[in-house]
């Protein structure tokens, strides 16, 4: 399946597993996959990038920390 975020960014296709282990309204992705640099021959194009789907963030006004949990995805079946 592919993940499409609220701004229309679509991830690479990945396998999906349904689990009890996380909240029902969440999707979990392993960080560090979906590389786009061709020089990374073993890693290029493998898996999906969670960073790619984080297109919005909120900033804490006091210390500037960023919150990325303001992105939402829908799952699309791969044809």
Partner 1 sequence: MLEFVTTRHNPMVDPALHVWGWEVPVYLFLGGWVAGSMIIAGWLARRGRRPGDGCVCHVLPWLSLVLLSLGMGALFLDLEHRLYVWRMYLTFQPLSPMSWGGWILILVYPVLLLGALTSIPTDLLSRWPAVAALAARLRQPEAAGRLGMVSIVAGIALGIYTGILLSSLGARPLWSSAALGPLFLVSGLSTGAAFAHLIARNADEQASLLKADTVFLAVELALIGLVLVGLLTASAVHANAAALLLGGPYTAVFWVLVVGLGILLPLLLQALMVSHRIPHTVIAPLLVIGGGLALRFVIVSAGQYSHWISP
Partner 2 sequence: MARLGMVIDTRQCVGCMDCVVACKTENDVPDGHCRDWISQRLEGAMPDLHLTITSERCNHCDRPPCVTCCPTGASHVHDYGKVVLVDHDKCIGCKACLASCPYGARFVHPEGYADKCTFCMHRVEKGELPACVAVCPTHAMHFGDLDDPQSEVSRLIASRRHFVLKPDAGTGPRIYYLE
Q: Is 42 in the site for partner 1 (CB under 8 A)?
A: no
Q: Which is nearer to partner 2, 21 or 79 (CB)?
A: 21
Token pair in block for residue 68: 């990325």
CB-neighbour burial class of residue 27 (10 A; exposed 0-12, middle 13-18, buried 19+): middle
Q: Which residue has the tokens 């590389």?
A: 35
Q: Which is nearer to partner 1, 19 or 42 (CB)?
A: 19
Residue span binding partner 2 (CB under 8 A) among the ranges 18-26, 30-38, 41-49, 61-69 = 18-26
CB of 24 to partner 1, least distance (A): 15
User: From the CB of residue 47, how many other CB atoms can be counted at a distance below 10 Å?
Assistant: 17
């Amino acid at each position: 399946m592919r993940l499409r975020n609220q701004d229309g960014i679509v991830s690479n296709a990945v396998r999906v597993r349904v689990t009890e282990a996380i909240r029902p309204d969440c999707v979990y992705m392993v960080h560090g996959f979906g590389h786009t640099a061709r020089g990374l021959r073993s890693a290029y194009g493998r898996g999906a990038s969670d960073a790619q789907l984080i297109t919005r963030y909120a900033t804490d006004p006091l210390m500037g920390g960023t919150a990325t949990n303001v992105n939402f995805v829908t799952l699309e079946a791969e044809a």
